[in-house]
Structure 1
């Protein structure tokens, strides 16, 4: 999920153009897993293990930061603080970085994929060029966007056209 909930379903579940925020679930009341492991960004984690509990704790903090921080710079700062706040968080962060060297930037650059014609690779290029939101990319000059390798006039026209 990217960003804050912009609207709500009748049951109060928040959502935005990038997906639905699921209500927080207490892992202690989840039904028993039918599997001994759960999938993570870096592979399988044993259900009920300390590693799973550490991951859930980290993800709760991650979500809180994304939902409450003011602006992307503040989110990134707070996430980097989270990454070193405890030994367990350092372990989770290290595994996430190993699985995705661009984390956490890749989490935020994925929002740019909502632009027409923009996939993962181009979203990362836009983000690295300093266009970190859809609004920033759409507000950029043609010259600024055309300076990004791989972004030609055809893709520029799609980006200017807005969301798919």
Structure 2
């Protein structure tokens, strides 16, 4: 990211992508401030590239902070989230960040999918704030939180949303479980033929 008016910049603030897919390490750095006009190095590795070849990480960006003596901060600025924009600095934003950190901690540390789902269920009612966030996520997709794990199956080559759901409902709830299954078990799933099986055997995100 470039910003020509460097004399106006007092520093840079890290803004993590407020979505369920964002790893905990990035969420923990949300709000981190780096003083000075020079943009800090990108957080994490480049997972894609812009047309000009610049590396890009989808989990967060550095945002320039303008000297408040020159331009007072906006009280209505918003940022994108899992279900729509929230006002920066609001209680809603703080509650969402707290929830996402807890969600990602469970997803990244709990052993096995059943344990993850059990701990997520506890999280859903642990505080009034978490109940509110959970409710919004459920309204956005009745299958939540299973939908989060179903979407991971879409990292398998050739597997779309419909097939990912079929795999999950058939008991193959993780990429590792799919990869460990026999050809016969997978071919028994309606709509999964030999052509897709060959693609699925090609890999996916564990």
* Range class of TM-score, shorter chain: 0.7 to 0.9
Question: Over alpha carbons, which structure has the higher Rg?
Answer: 2
TM-score by length of 2: 0.62
**C-alpha distance in structure 1 between counterparts of 2:27 and 2:129, whole Å:** 24
Match of residue 83, structure 1, among 124, 138, 141: 124
**C-alpha distance in structure 1 between counterparts of 2:108 and 2:134, whole Å:** 19
Shift of 1:144: 2.2
Match of 1:27 in 2: 31
Provide the secondary structure at the position in 2 that maps to 1:144. Answer: helix
Aligned residues: 147
Shift of 1:96: 0.7
When the two chains are superposed, the root-mean-square deviation of aligned CA atoms in Å is: 2.7
Which range moved further: 53-62 or 67-76? 67-76
Kindly report structure 1 stretches of 4+ aligned residues shifted beyond 4 Å: 18-21, 28-35
**C-alpha distance in structure 1 between counterparts of 2:32 and 2:199, whole Å:** 46
**C-alpha distance in structure 2 between counterparts of 1:26 and 1:162, whole Å:** 32
The structure with the greater share of residues assigned to helix is 1
Q: Which runs of 5+ in 2 are unaligned?
A: 1-20, 34-62, 66-72
Q: Which runs of 5+ in 1 are unaligned?
A: 1-17
Match of residue 132, structure 1, among 173, 198, 201: 173
